[in-house]
Amino acid sequence: MPTSVPKAPGRSSGGRANIPAGGGLVDPGQLLRALPDALRKLNPAKMWRNPVMFIVEVGAAFTTVLAVLDPSWFAWAIVLWLWLTVVFANLAEAVAEGRGKAQAATLRAARRDTTARRLRDSADRTRWDVVGAAELRQGDHVIVEAGEVVPADGDVIDGIASVDESAITGESAPVIRESGGDRSAVTGGTRVLSDRIIVEVTQRPGDSFVDRMIALVEGADRQKTPNEIALNILLAALTIIFLIATATMQPLAIYAKSANPGVPDSLALTADGVTGVVLISLIVCLIPTTIGALLSAIGIAGMDRLVQRNVLAMSGRAVEAAGDVSTLLLDKTGTITLGNRQAGAFVPVAGVTEEELAGAAQLSSLADETPEGRSIVIYAKERYGLRERAPGELAHAEWVPFTAQTRMSGVNVDGREVRKGAATAVMKWVRDGGGHPTDEVGHLVDGISASGGTPLVVAERGRVLGVIHLKDVVKEGMRERFDEMRRMGIRTVMITGDNPLTARAIAEEAGVDDYLAEATPEDKLALIRQEQAGGRLVAMTGDGTNDAPALAQSDVGVAMNTGTSAAKEAGNMVDLESNPTKLIEIVEIGKQLLITRGALTTFSIANDVAKYFAIIPAMFAAVYPGLDRLNIMRLASPQSAILSAVVFNAIIIVALIPLALRGVRYRPSSAARLLGRNLYLYGLGGMIVPFIGIKLIDLLIQFLPGMS
């Protein structure tokens, strides 16, 4: 169970409050390149998946027939702009998909048809067959040496090598892949730079990591998310309501003309009621075409923003879930802290000098190649002037490596036995050697742990010399990031294998809400289930096989690309850069997606209401003079009002494409404040913009034929 940490006050610097504008503005070249795809999407077999725009297309086709039967300048102008409305709607989606196709082209360049040396028998590594990469199957073992391309996704089961993954991640720095750890996964298409490894193929034929990336960024596998489906249902319902409302205008118009026979007929209003062209124009202007046109592009752009940050989302559902996350599980090492603990002090027990402790600590660490071990040697050299002796100078020394069972390491040399390691393990070793550690050692260990450090006890056979204080440095700006998460309503939980005292100190310094100390895979899974049972969505990162159950259980599971194949299969996102702090950015991108969708929906609905009040008074003011008071824009004529609204309805879609692709700028805030901001900025803006836009268009077209 996590232990609550008091929320320390802190001010946000705001340095990372706003997500960078992913995607940038749309240039005319992008629109032109996407135009052929937009025209191909006019196929009704594709259009019916978007009910709102399908109705617009049907209306445009029907209006075309009416214009052919009864041609007029007004009718053909309406036909032109109705078709442009459908094309512009398809253009938004085509531009979003075009960016994905450009990324897919880069990935295809990385996918190569290579040959592989497949072992005939996994037990005999001297005999192999040369086969094409396409012939490899799950479970096959292949040999890859320096200069060769990894033929398929898999796990290193023998050897260690430096691998160039720039074709996948874009990072030029090579990475190390080795057997037996959490950095064993290799990706097909990457190149081995040094040494020799044996890889066990884990991919299914035709289902490599690169293949899945290509399908995802192209949008071929994109499925509508639950929120997107719900919004589509809402838009369909609004469309039906507006269809019914528009249909009632026909009998109303007939009655109005019969009650006012002195009013002359117009292109909009005749004795037979509203003309077919005008009726269809009203339907198109009043149904939520703006958000219907942009909804798909918003979802595609959300995944695109993740890909730009080298994060592969396996589904749009994962991106959307990231926006609704309320609990964030973060590993301490490498995420909240720098990861490499450094020696910061030597604390001797009574009767031992600091120099004596420093000499023993350095001696026990000469063969320790871990960052912590190297820092002890360097600290002793720089602080106390001790000469660093290479292990080769102690050829007769017996080095004792660290193991998970003993939890200590050291050296036996010149009749001395020196050990350093976990307090309980070293003190037991001292007791077994006939020594009697004092309570002072326990107090020193507890003090260092309480301060957020990691204590390593140093001892010789029979006596304790003191404690090394390893400092775990919290990354700069983490407290501000967690303050932002808190303002977003997200609870942060630090996961660590440290003891509770150390975990608590780091948690307080970093500013997380809770922590889980001495965590095991079972503890992580139990915590996730506990959070989900309370109705919260959970996100976490992981890279090892032991993280796979928790990644699979999480609503948003981000696997590191450097991790095992099991972890990448269990998660629903893969971070190609293997940066654990990327999880915070993923949550921000998810929230930006939801806010963008909500903002443009608010704008679209407000738009429709404004167009209603712009058109109806202009149409019926002649037969109902009282409505003229609502014609605040003083449009030139009913025909001008209708055409202006249709033109504005098409143009506003193109104008909003950059915002849909870039996303509404996100600022950490409560749900109530975000709702208020949306209603004020996009609701009020959606009411005002149509009045301005329609009036300007009316001023431009009122002198055209048939507009007076």
Tokens 């009122």 — which residue? Answer: 702
Helix (H, G, I), strand (E, B) or coil at 442: helix
Cα 593-597-600 angle, rounded to 5 deg:
135
Confirm if 216 and 303 have CB atoms less than 8 A apart.
Answer: yes
Instruction: Compute the distance between CA of residue 364 and CA of residue 408 in angstroms, rounded to an integer.
Output: 10
Backbone angles phi, psi at 69, to 5 degrees: -70, -40
| Three-state DSSP string of 679-707 | HHHHHHHHHHHHHHHHHHHHHHHCCCCCC
Q: Is 331 a catalytic residue?
A: yes
Q: Where in 88-217 does DSSP place strands (E)?
A: 115-121, 124-132, 141-145, 154-164, 175-178, 185-186, 191-192, 196-201
d(CA 460, CA 363): 11
* Nearest Cα residue to 85 out of 237, 218, 281: 281
Q: Which residues define the annotated binding site for Mg(2+)?
A: 543, 547
Q: What is the DSSP letter of 511?
A: T
The order of strands in the sheet holding 408-413 is 342-348, 463-471, 454-460, 416-421, 408-413, 398-400
Residues belonging to the binding site are 368, 372, 402-409, 420, 543, 547
Alpha carbon separation from 316 to 45, 300, 444, 572 (Å, rounded): 23, 8, 51, 10
Which has the closest alpha carbon to 301: 17, 595, 537? Answer: 595
User: Which listed residue (164, 211, 331, 555) is catalytic?
Assistant: 331
DSSP SS3 for 232: helix
CA–CA gap between residue 361 and residue 419 (Å, rounded) = 8
Query: Which residues does the annotation mark as catalytic?
Result: 331
